[in-house]
Amino acid sequence: MTVKLILRNKEYEVKAEMALLDALKKCGIVPESVIATRAGELMTEDELLVDGEVIKLVAVISGG
């Protein structure tokens, strides 16, 4: 019952059925600094994570 979160070259594993916001907090990721996508579609932080899925986190900060 796990879900994989991928941010750049880092992978995090969290329990399924928790809200995305809670998962981000658990991984120490500031929600404001990422956009989460499920199968390429944008998702909001209240959505529940489904067992076995992979959530891609897109870093939003760019410098220069």
Partner 1 sequence: MKCKKCGERASINLRQHRMALCKDHFLEWIPEQTERFIKKYNMFTRDEKILVAVSGGKDSLALWDILTRLGYKADGLYLGLGIDGGINYSEESHRLTDEFAQKNGLKLHVVDVEKEYGYSIPILSEMSHRGFGKPCSVCGLTKRHEMNRIARDLGYDVLATGHNLDDEAAVLFGNTLQWAPDYLLRQGPVLPSAEGLARKVKPLCRFYEREMTAYSIARGIEYIYEECPFADGSTQVFYKESLNQLENVRPGTKLTFYLRFLEARQSGELFIERDSKQAHIHPCAKCGQPTSAPELCSFCRMFEKADAIRNG
Binding site for partner 1 (CB under 8 A): 30-35, 37, 40-47, 58-64
Residue 42: both structure tokens together: 């944008």
C-beta closer to partner 1: residue 1 or 40: 40
Minimum Å gap between C-beta 5 and partner 1 is 16
C-beta closer to partner 1: residue 1 or 32: 32
Distance (Å, whole) CA 63 – CA 54:
27
C-beta closer to partner 1: residue 1 or 46: 46
CB of 61 closer than 8 Å to CB of 43: no
Residue 63: both structure tokens together: 């410098």
